[in-house]
Amino acid sequence: MGVFGANDHPECRDESPVGYLLGLDLGTTFTAAAIRRGGGPPEMVTLGNRSTCMPSVLYIGRDGSVLVGDAAERRSAADPSGVAREFKRRIGDVTPMLLGDGGHTAHELTARLARWVVDLVRSREGGEPEQVSITHPAGWGGHKTALLGTALAEYGLGDSLLLSEPAAAAIAYASTERLAPGAAIGVYDLGGGTVDTAVLRKDAIGSFELLGEPAGDDHLGGVDFDELLFERIRNQFPELMTGLSADDPLAVSAVGRLRREITEAKEALSLDTEAVIPVLLPSGQRQARLIRAEFEAMIRAALEETVDLLRRTIRSAGLTEADLAAVLLVGGSSRIPLVTELLSAGLGRPVAVDADPKATVAIGAVLSASLDNVVEPVPAIVAMTAPPARPTEPEIPLHLVTPAPRPSRFVRPRMFAGAAGLALVAMASSALVYSAQTADPGAPAQAATPGTTPSVAQPPAGGASGTNAAAHKPSKTTTHSTSTSKTSGSNATSTSGAAPTTSPASDTSVQDRAGAPMIGPPPDDSTSSSDAPPPTTTTVDTPPPSTSAAAPRNNPPPDDTPPATIVTSAPADTTTSVIASTTDPGPTTT
């Protein structure tokens, strides 16, 4: 065996290290890197524990310590408050994310991730890279790229080149496939968190130019498909999910393990028709069976929208589907068999799938860093320190049409009229109720005669009987006794004398009605005085009175007008009435 000296170790040799180029693909869920030494072929850099890619996860502790990739994933089970995932989706939002030692913006976390990868490659290669190329989604505008460029400059990567992910994918495809100058290809990039579509054309010197307007969606990718499967398991086993607490470390660790199992099962369906997901939680253990056809039915609608997105991108380039030489699939989620099926059927063009879609963009990025493979001119990143100013627009006067005044509504007079009507109704109702309570239930009603004024007399205080008592009984006064007798249509017999003659029926009426309540003023004392001439009593036979024409009982006459005639009715005999007249006593004729 030969003996190796200290200078034989690669890190201890005196020869200067070979220069290299570095390309970074900072994805939403995974990060990949590729290097190219001299003019050799590109090589992937091993970043993860089990693959060349590593999770795009950062952990920042309360003491400022930083863990990246798989180490950050492991720490998330013990301290999830310091873990940041999928922060690439939030680039453009300056609101900081609260982690262990404070707030951090999304573009700052992305720049810190890039710095960690560069430092890792430098420690392995023994020196700084000659050029670093970093990719970004095609749908980003100037604001997002400026924020990322500023953050990279703060971490010593201000001279890095930025290019779109579809452009890097086109360069990687052209390096392995023969593509004639002037040929156009479509790029469909479906990654972990974003989807991008673009159309590029190869020029005479081997570079690619972007045609039309690239399109993309920053909120559609593999993580969204994972979330659909997680919700399916949650609905399938609700008894296992309801009792989990975010404060329980065992529950948090079990849920994290379940999400990793879901991702692996989803990726396994790209090669197999079914997969089994073990559900191991503190509340119980189950197994969920997942079939490819069921999974494709869940995501078909979203994938059809991405095909329409690529079709609109082709139209914006002024081309048709037939003008494309091929459609290049990029990104880990593009390996889903349904994606190839929908693109082939919808566009009618051949679909090119790379053996390792996760490495395509990183390889294209390192190839673009060469001087002879520059895809698109990128200004110096250091100069892009602020988002572009918004263009000023002329002020457009706003003319508002003043509506016509509405006619005023007279509400108060209506209210007063309604209140007055209610008051009148209440007064009339009270009068009717009061009259009904004071009326004699045994006395028949008497028809009203024109020119007649009803009156009710008050009884004397002492309760006198005889003629004086009869004068104070309820009575009706009329000034036309003769016409009343004629109207009755019956024979009348009148008697006169010095002494008044009273029928027995009158005495009965007086005795029966002595205690009834009376309404109205008491009669004049002159009618019951002893000096008055003797009254004449006339007996008139009348038919039974009709109850439908009852005489009113209100409006008594004034006190100074003596009643001319007092009419009393005896309840015992309804066919006979007594009329006591105070007119001049004279001979009575029959």
pLDDT mean over 119-142: 92
Per-residue pLDDT band at 12 (split at 50, 70, 90): very low
Strands 195-202 and 208-217, how do they pair? antiparallel
The most distant pair of C-alpha atoms in the chain lies apart, rounded to whole Å, by 180
Q: What is the dotted CATH code of the domain comprising 16-222+297-373? A: 3.30.420.40
Q: Who's near 253: CB < 8 A, 6+ residues apart?
A: 77
* CA distances from residue 560 to 242, 451, 479, 563, 584 in whole angstroms, order as listed: 97, 19, 15, 10, 20
For every residue of 102-131, DSSP letters joined together read EEE-HHHHHHHHHHHHHHHHHHHHTS--SE
What pLDDT, on the 0 to 100 scale, is given for residue 551? Answer: 42
CB 242 within 8 A of CB 164: no
- Whether 535 and 582 have beta carbons less than 8 Å apart is answered as yes
pLDDT > 90 fraction of the chain, expressed in percent and rounded: 43
Percent of the chain whose predicted confidence (pLDDT) is above 70: 63
pLDDT of residue 415: 67
> Which residues touch 543 (CB under 8 Å, ≥6 apart)?
488, 489, 490, 575
Please report which confidence band the pLDDT of residue 574 belongs to, taking 50, 70 and 90 as the band edges. Answer: very low
Distance spanning both ends of the chain, measured CA to CA: 176
383 confidence band (pLDDT: 50, 70, 90): very low
User: In this structure, what token pair is assigned to residue 548?
Assistant: 């439908």
Q: Per mean pLDDT, which range of 30-34, 251-255, 412-416, 518-522 is the poorest?
A: 518-522
Q: What is the mean pLDDT of residues 43-70?
A: 92
Confidence class for position 391, pLDDT limits 50, 70, 90: very low
Q: What is the mean pLDDT of residues 530-539?
A: 45
Phi-psi region of 515 (alpha: psi -120 to 50; beta: other; left: phi over 0): alpha
* Residue 523 scores a pLDDT above 60: no
The predicted structure's pLDDT at residue 174: 86
159-168, 289-298, 491-500, 531-540 — which is least confidently predicted?
491-500
Whether residue 58 is predicted with pLDDT greater than 60 in this model: the reply is yes
- Cite the residue boundaries of each domain of the chain with CATH code 3.30.420.40: 16-222+297-373
Q: Start-end ranges of CATH 3.90.640.10 in the chain?
A: 223-296
CATH class of 223-296: alpha beta
Q: What confidence category does residue 293 fall into, taking pLDDT thresholds of 50, 70 and 90?
A: very high
Decide: 69 and 54 in contact? Cβ < 8 Å. yes
Count other C-beta atoms under 10 Å from residue 227's C-beta.
Answer: 12
* pLDDT of 524 higher than 60: no
One-letter identity of residue 130: E
- pLDDT of res. 471: 40
The answer to whether the predicted template modeling score (pTM) of the entire model surpasses 0.85 is no
Question: Stretch 338-358: mean pLDDT, rounded?
Answer: 88
At residue 218 the predicted structure's pLDDT band, cuts being 50, 70 and 90, is: confident
Q: Is 524 exposed, middle or buried (0-12, 13-18, 19+ CB in 10 A)?
A: middle
Q: Which helix (H) or strand (E) holds 400?
A: none
Output the 3-class SS for 205-238: CCCEEEEEEEEEECCCCHHHHHHHHHHHHHHHCH
pLDDT the model gives residue 209: 85
Strands 492-495 and 131-136: what pairing?
unpaired
pLDDT band per the 50, 70, 90 thresholds, residue 51? confident
Instruction: Specify whether the backbone of 446 is left (phi greater than 0), alpha (psi in -120 to 50) or beta.
Output: beta
The DSSP 8-state label assigned to residue 476 in this structure reads B
d(CA 189, CA 362): 13
For 227-279, write each residue's pLDDT tens digit: 999 999 999 999 998 888 888 888 888 998 999 999 999 999 999 999 999 99
For residue 340, give the H/E element and its range: helix 337-347
Residue 494 has pLDDT above 70, yes or no: no
pLDDT band for position 204 (50/70/90)? confident
User: What's the rounded Cα separation, in Å, for the pair 327 and 304?
Assistant: 16
Split at pLDDT 50, 70, 90, the class of 554 is very low
Place 416 in a pLDDT band, splitting at 50, 70 and 90: low
Give the per-residue pLDDT at 441. Answer: 52
**pLDDT value for 528:** 41
